[in-house]
Each structure stands twice: as structure tokens, then as C-alpha cells.
Amino acid sequence: MTNLEAARTVPDTGGGRRAWFGLAVLLLPVLLVSMDMSVLFLALPTLTADLDPTAAQQLWILDIYGFLIAGLLITMGNLGDRIGRRNILLAGAALFGIASAIAAFAPSAGVLIAARALMGIGGATLLPSSLALISNLFPDQRQRSKAIGVWTAFFAGGSAVGPIIGGVLLHHFPWGSVFLINIPVLLVLLIFAPVLLPEHRATALGPLDLPSVILSIGGILPAVYAVKHIAEYGPDAEALLSALAGAAVLTVFVRRQRRLTEPLLDLALFRRSRFSLAIGSCTAAMMSLAGLSYLSSIWLQSVTGRDPLQAALLGIPMAVTVFVFSVNGSAVARLLGVRWAFALALAVAAIGNLLVLGIGVDGGAVWYSAGSAIAGIGYGIVFTLVSEVAVAAVPPERAGSAVGISETSFELGNALGLALLGSLAALVFRSAGEFAPTLGETIQRPDADTALVHAARDAFVTGAHTSIAVGAGILLIVATVAAVVGRGGRSAVTQPIDP
């Protein structure tokens, strides 16, 4: 009996009707986890007025979720390979639901941050297990490719549709409703997943290396803290020590992975040009998308004066293009080849971001809708190709591990986009005048006359322009690298990846 045969604990579903129903169940947690990356963008002004968080707490409310997912995805992907992907999916769904209820009724910013952290831990179990289970549900390569495209469309589309759903909810209900909506959806998952999803565990794999788990988390968090601290207070000894500590721990982590027979992070995957290209492209795309979504949501409400629902409706064109091109990303790769598909997609996303620079204090909604829709074309193609490359990179029994790496690039890119591009915009904003730390706080100041409010809005737009332009520049750099350095010609994404 092969390792793959030993890893299967139930008969293969064969990609029939039952498998497609199973995929529908898997889409539920994917949609929720991706929505919760962006659903708070529109809720932030209302939430700020209610809980009165500091500028640092506002960033932590947004960022702690993504950073904990990024820090734990690789661990949870490996854990799912060992204890069962369906088992860890159900455990994560239960934790995500409990944390959502706590977040919905959080009495303070501190409690909300803690609840978002628990949601991040739960979300880290949901993403790799759901994508890895697709390889069990769909053994046929073409069906699997189609299923991954649908999965990615919901994952990528969820981030885009999150503000729209949030806008509808906030138009009728308090801000806690953006979390309460998770609970009935997760109940459906908990009821139907044991019936429709096969269990899968790789019996040939050894136990998780706990020191690697500790080192991976212990390296990421200090590095993240250093970035946030510099953004709020400027460079100082505390930020420097935190950055050095994070770098030192991550260095030890990487060295340990090179010595282990079964590493938590398989560094050999990064010697494969197509895999490295996919991870780099995804990280760059998510950075720019996170910065664009965060800054544009503030611009739509605090600068143009739209309510959450009106702001959400302007995001529909982008949600549509992300979804459509995620489903059809594989066709682009078959036509152009993997590296050229990545290069083209990143360039299109960059062009869309540059068009968004047409926004201003007194208008620009058309530029925003058109530019974000064009950017969505590129984002959709990138995201589906990354998922396919990850699944094709390893044998099915190690799919959770490889998927954990690819999903980490999604989450890390999202978190870095909020931390770095958001912080850059904040620095430009604060340097333009005697404003409060954020635009919302400045507008709400008792002494905020018309001139001060207009100056603050103008400063915010300048900061947003700067950050969005930097995000577009990153996309163009990675697109150039994909076109010039990438290898693999016109090979299809689902073909075996050569070292």
C-alpha cells in the first residue's frame, strides 16, 4: 500500500455530485474568513465612535486577525495533514463562531482585539484544510482545476464583497452585526461537513516539530510590532530591539527547517521557480489590495461623506471582476503560460491602482470604480493561479503543508498592506498639519472648523495617493521580475513543477 493510499481513510468521492456538494460546504468558511479581512473597513468609523479606540488600537483591530492567521497557517496546514483535515476544519469553525459572538458584543477595544485574535486562530485552521480537501474530493485534474478556481473566486471575492455585505448590515444594524452573520453560516458547516466531506490524514508523517511552531510565531510577531511602533511613534530603541528580536528568531527558524527531515516549512519548494513566483506575486497583490481597500473605504466615508451602504455599492464592480477572473484564471495560464499570466495580471492590477489616483477631496468616484474594477481583473487571475500552483507542487498527502504556505502569502500580504501602506498614508497625513492621529478623530474634534476639516481631508487624499502609488509600483516590479526572471515557458499550471 502506498503512502497516499494509507492516507485516505474513506473512499474517494470521484468528483461526482456529492463532491460538488462538498465543495459548496467548503466555500462557507472560505467566504467568511476572507470577508472578515475587509468587512471592518466600512465599520471602522462607526466602531471608532462607539468604542473610542486609539490609533494603535484601530490598526490592531484590523491587523491582529490577519497576522495571527499568517503566523499559524503553515502550522495548521501541517497539523491537518496529521490529525485529519476535516477534524481541524470543524474545530476551527467552532472557535471562529465563538470568537465572532464575543466580537459582536465587545464592550471595549481591548476585548474586540482579543476576539479578533481568536478569530485569527480559528481562521488559520479553516483555509488550508478546506483547500487541501479539494484534492480528495476531485481526483480528476481538470475537475480539480475547476474546483480550485471556484474556491479561489470565493476566497478572493470574499475580500472584495466583505465591504458590500458590511455596508448593507451597517445601514440597518449596529456594527456587531458584521460578526453575528458568521454564526448561522458556521452552523450549516458544522451540520453538513461530517456528512459530505471525507476525512484525510497522512499516516506516514511524523509529529509536528513544536520548536518550529514556537519559532515561527515568535519571529513574526516581534517583527510586526516593530513596524507598527515605528508607524505610530517613529524609530526608537524599542522598535529596533523588537525588529532585531524578530529577525533573529526567524533566522533560527529557517536554519532549523533546513536540518529537519519533515520541516514545518519545506524550503525546497522555494527552489522551484514557479512556486516562488506564485508566492511573491500573491504577496505583492494582497499588499496593494489591502492598502487600496482600507484607504478607499475611509475616503468614501470620511472624505466624500457617503454612508456605509453607498460606499459599498461603489465596490460592486471590483467584486464582480475579482470573482469572474478568479474562476477563469486557469484559462489565462493555459493560453499564455504561467509566468506570462502572472506578469500580465500584476501589470493590469497596477494600472487599475494608478487609475484610482484620480480620487480627490471633491470627487473621483468614477475613477475609483473603474480603476478598482480593472485592478480586480489582475487580482482574480493571480489568486487562482497561486492556489493551483500550491496544490500541484506536492503529493496529495502533503497538500495541507503546501497550501499553508500559499495561504500564508495571502494573509501576510494583506496584513503587511494594512501595516505598511496604511502606516505610510498615516505618516503623510500627520506631517501635513496639526491634525489628530486619524482623519476621523480630526473631523470629530470640537475645534474642527470648515478650513481644518478641508485641510485634513486634503492631507488624507495626499497620503492615500502616496500609498496606492507605492502599491502599484510594487506590482510593476514583481510583474517585471515574473516576465524577465521567471522560467517555465508556456507550461500549464497543473503540470508537474520542475525544480
Residue 47 half-sphere exposure, CB side, CA atoms within 13 Å? 33
Residue 466 lies in a domain: yes
Does residue 166 have a pLDDT over 50?
yes
Who contacts 111 (Cβ-Cβ below 8 Å, separation ≥6)? 102
Residue 494 lies in a domain: no
Q: Between 120 and 269, where is the model more confident?
A: 120
Identify whether residues 249 and 270 lie together within a single domain. Answer: no
Count the neighbouring beta carbons within 10 Å of the beta carbon of residue 52. Answer: 11
Identify whether residues 198 and 214 lie together within a single domain. Answer: no
Residue 493 lies in a domain: no
Please tell me the distance from the alpha carbon of residue 380 to that of residue 165, in angstroms, as a whole number: 19
DSSP 492: -
Residue 189 half-sphere exposure, CB side, CA atoms within 13 Å? 28
Instruction: Summarize the confidence of residues 156-184 as an average pLDDT.
Output: 78
Does residue 372 have a pLDDT over 90?
yes
Q: How confident is the model at residue 132 (pLDDT cuts 50, 70, 90)?
A: confident
Domain boundary among 231, 263, 295: 263
Identify whether residues 356 and 238 lie together within a single domain. Answer: no
Domain boundary among 239, 263, 287: 263
Return the pLDDT at 351.
97
Containing structural domain, residue 448: 13-208+264-484
Identify whether residues 257 and 307 lie together within a single domain. Answer: no
- Total domains present in the chain: 2
Identify whether residues 232 and 376 lie together within a single domain. Answer: no
Does residue 4 have a pLDDT over 70?
no
Residue 193 lies in a domain: yes
Residue 42 lies in a domain: yes
CATH number assigned to the domain comprising residue 386: 1.20.1250.20
Return the pLDDT at 114.
93
Instruction: Summarize the confidence of residues 229-235 as an average pLDDT.
Output: 63
Confidence (pTM): 0.77
Return the pLDDT at 472.
96
Identify whether residues 195 and 147 lie together within a single domain. Answer: yes
Check if the beta carbon of residue 289 is closer than 8 Å to that of residue 379. yes
Residue 490 lies in a domain: no
Does residue 491 have a pLDDT over 60?
no
Identify whether residues 176 and 250 lie together within a single domain. Answer: no
Residue 498 lies in a domain: no
Average pLDDT, the chain: 80
Q: Between 45 and 396, where is the model more confident?
A: 45
Q: Note the pLDDT tens digit of each residue in 421-474.
A: 888 888 888 888 777 777 877 887 776 678 888 888 898 999 999 999 999 999
Identify whether residues 250 and 301 lie together within a single domain. Answer: no
Identify whether residues 241 and 365 lie together within a single domain. Answer: no
Identify whether residues 162 and 217 lie together within a single domain. Answer: no
Instruction: Summarize the confidence of residues 290-296 as an average pLDDT.
Output: 88
Residue 258 lies in a domain: yes
Question: Sign of dihedral through CA atoms 18, 20, 21, 26?
Answer: positive
Longest CA span, the chain: 76
Instruction: Summarize the confidence of residues 129-144 as an average pLDDT.
Output: 78
Who contacts 422 (Cβ-Cβ below 8 Å, separation ≥6)? 59, 62, 231, 291, 294, 295, 467
Does residue 489 have a pLDDT over 50?
no
Identify whether residues 411 and 389 lie together within a single domain. Answer: yes
Identify whether residues 398 and 469 lie together within a single domain. Answer: yes
